[in-house]
């Protein structure tokens, strides 16, 4: 029997739009995570808090919720001197999300960037393609063992790292892979590009060629640019597209960081995002369950 995560693609092909979740760092910081602390460690030390965040997003209308494993590669966890706990923290992250999920809810195993540059661009020793592949395989294996329904390779900035993560996921398990990249808005040129200069159209084609089943964008400036990015991707592919942008730009006042867009203001952009071609929508940094509740209302109203 094929994994139930493949139902997501079937539902999209049938014309359904699905709701993703919102920010995790935002929620963890609100719960007391200290700046510079390891979010994935909370899967062990604050399991009830993490489980509660998952439940809050499902209750708000998310149909797909991520694991708290964004920085869960060994290369990233080594920065906290806990790389030897890679499998444990990823498996636990998957289990916490699964425990919080209602019967019809899907769990996406979050796989973020390692924060280590490819060897060709690094000032230090950098990371080889083989090292990227090994660290992503290790994380994907643990997430699959913990029971995720799909993988979410996200916020990638360099093509080598993104494609290595997608391929590693495909080698590990027969689960769908959703892959998104971070785009910067280049105001002088009125365009969106990755850190390495790739256009949205190029990203879509490259991620699909690497084996991704769903492609798109996350993080970035906000839903206004997500609309443009998704529209450009839709021009070159009929594949499912996902968008979960930030709640606008961060606003720093003293030691406090907030984001520009509240739930209602952010949700106003989502009819246009759906019209541009997004099949799965959610939100990223600065968002919370109330943002998702408003976004889910937009999605439900469009079905009528």
- Chain centre to alpha carbon of residue 52: 19
Burial (CB count <10 Å: 0-12, 13-18, 19+), residue 186: exposed
For 182, phi then psi, to 5°, come to -90, 130
Range of the domain at 78: 6-303
Q: Residue 185 and residue 220: Cα distance in Å, rounded?
A: 8
Closest CA to 214 of 7, 71, 50, 42: 7
Q: Residue 74 and residue 82: Cα distance in Å, rounded?
A: 8
Contact 19, 274 (CB under 8 A): no
| The pLDDT value given to residue 100 | 98
Helix, strand, coil percentages (3-state) for the chain, rounded to 5, are: 45, 15, 35
pTM: 0.96
Q: Residue 165 and residue 135: Cα distance in Å, rounded?
A: 9
Q: Does residue 137 fall inside a structural domain? A: yes
Q: Does residue 82 fall inside a structural domain? A: yes
Alpha-helix residue ranges (DSSP H) falling in 61-199:
74-77, 86-100, 129-146, 159-172
| The pLDDT value given to residue 256 | 81
The total number of residues written for the chain in this structure: 304
* Structure token pair of residue 227: 């609309």
Q: Does residue 1 fall inside a structural domain? A: no
| The pLDDT value given to residue 304 | 47
Count of helices and strands (H, E) across the chain: 13, 12
- Give the DSSP letter of residue 85: G
Q: Does residue 172 fall inside a structural domain? A: yes
Q: Can you tell me whether residue 259 is helix, strand or coil? A: strand
Alpha-helix residue ranges (DSSP H) falling in 176-304:
200-210, 223-234, 263-267, 270-276, 289-303
How many domains does the chain fold into? 1
Question: Hey, which residues does 107 pair with through a beta bridge?
Answer: 65
Q: Does residue 75 fall inside a structural domain? A: yes
Sequential pLDDT tens for the chain (304 residues): 789 999 999 999 999 999 999 999 999 999 999 999 999 999 999 999 999 999 999 999 999 999 999 999 999 999 999 999 999 999 999 999 999 999 999 999 999 999 888 777 666 778 888 999 999 999 999 999 999 999 999 999 989 999 999 999 999 999 999 999 999 999 999 999 999 899 999 999 999 999 999 999 999 999 999 999 999 999 999 999 999 999 999 898 877 888 999 999 999 999 999 999 999 999 999 999 999 999 999 999 986 4
CATH code, 263: 3.20.20.330
Q: Can you tell me whether residue 110 is helix, strand or coil? A: strand
Q: Residue 273 and residue 242: Cα distance in Å, rounded?
A: 10
Q: Does residue 69 fall inside a structural domain? A: yes
| The pLDDT value given to residue 255 | 76
| The pLDDT value given to residue 298 | 98
Question: What's the chain's Rg over C-alpha atoms?
Answer: 18
- Chain centre to alpha carbon of residue 213: 14
């Amino acid at each position: 029997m094929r994994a139930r995560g493949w139902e997501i693609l079937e539902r999209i092909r049938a014309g359904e739009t699905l709701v993703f979740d919102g920010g995790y760092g935002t929620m963890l910081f609100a719960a007391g995570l200290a700046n510079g602390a390891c979010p994935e460690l909370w899967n062990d030390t604050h399991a009830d808090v993490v489980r509660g965040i998952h439940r809050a997003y499902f209750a708000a209308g998310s149909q797909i919720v991520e694991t708290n494993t964004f920085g869960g590669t060994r290369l990233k966890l080594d920065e906290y001197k806990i790389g030897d706990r890679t499998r444990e923290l990823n498996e636990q992250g998957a289990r916490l999300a699964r425990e919080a999920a209602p019967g019809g809810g899907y769990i996406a195993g979050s796989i973020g960037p390692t924060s280590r540059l490819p060897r060709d661009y690094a000032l230090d020793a950098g990371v080889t393609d083989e090292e990227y592949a090994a660290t992503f395989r290790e994380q994907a294996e643990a997430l699959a063992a913990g029971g995720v329904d799909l993988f979410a390779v996200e916020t990638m900035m360099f093509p080598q790292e993104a494609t290595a993560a997608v391929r590693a996921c495909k080698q590990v398990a027969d689960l769908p892979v959703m892959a998104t990249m971070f785009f910067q808005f280049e105001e002088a040129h009125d365009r969106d590009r990755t850190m390495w200069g790739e256009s949205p159209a190029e990203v879509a084609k490259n991620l699909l060629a690497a084996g991704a089943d769903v492609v798109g964008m996350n993080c970035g400036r906000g839903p206004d640019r997500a609309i443009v990015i998704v529209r450009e991707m839709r021009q070159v592919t009929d594949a499912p597209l996902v968008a979960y942008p930030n709640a606008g730009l961060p606003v720093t006042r003293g030691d406090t960081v907030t984001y520009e867009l509240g739930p209602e203001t952010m949700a106003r952009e989502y009819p246009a995002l759906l019209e541009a071609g997004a099949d799965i929508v959610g939100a990223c940094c600065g968002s919370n369950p109330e943002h998702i509740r408003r976004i889910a209302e937009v999605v439900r109203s469009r079905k009528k």
